């Protein structure tokens, strides 16, 4: 699914959690079987929830580029404004699948 589908993509402002509360945590695929598309959505929701809980204010996105039969995923973390300090800005990770 991750090599050929388009389900493992999410924008910085998509599927954001405003608070870290357990009732918002996605667990729909833990007890039952999910389709590949449902599993991708589940993984993204868990990731977005953990970003909210572990690094409040941080946003994340996942995109990909296909070239010559190779898919490269780009994971971007955008850190919150640090007030009077210089913000950490963005971290971009790339991985080939």
Residue 97 confidence (pLDDT):
57
Rounded-to-integer distance, Cα 97 and Cα 95, Å: 7
Residue 8 confidence (pLDDT):
82
Q: Say if residue 66's pLDDT is above 80.
A: yes
Residue 21 confidence (pLDDT):
79
Indicate the domain borders of the chain: 22-96
3-class DSSP string for 56-67:
CCCEEEEEEEEE
Contact (Cβ atoms closer than 8 angstroms) between residue 66 and residue 45 = no
Which residues share a beta bridge with 61? 76
The pLDDT tens digits for 23-58 are 666 667 877 788 888 888 888 888 888 888 888 888
Give Cβ neighbours of residue 29 (< 8 Å, ≥ 6 apart).
38, 39, 42
Going by pLDDT thresholds of 50, 70 and 90, the confidence category of residue 85 is low
What is the reported pTM? 0.75
Q: DSSP character for 86? A: P
């Amino acid at each position: 699914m991750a090599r050929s589908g388009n389900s493992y993509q999410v924008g910085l402002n998509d599927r954001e959690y405003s608070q870290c509360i357990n009732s918002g945590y996605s667990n729909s695929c833990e007890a039952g079987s999910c389709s590949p598309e449902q599993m991708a959505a589940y993984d993204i929701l868990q990731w977005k929830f953990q970003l909210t809980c572990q690094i409040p204010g941080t946003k994340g996105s996942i995109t990909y580029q296909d070239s010559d039969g190779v898919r490269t995923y780009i994971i971007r973390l955008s850190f919150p404004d640090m007030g009077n300090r210089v913000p950490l800005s963005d971290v971009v990770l790339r991985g080939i699948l």
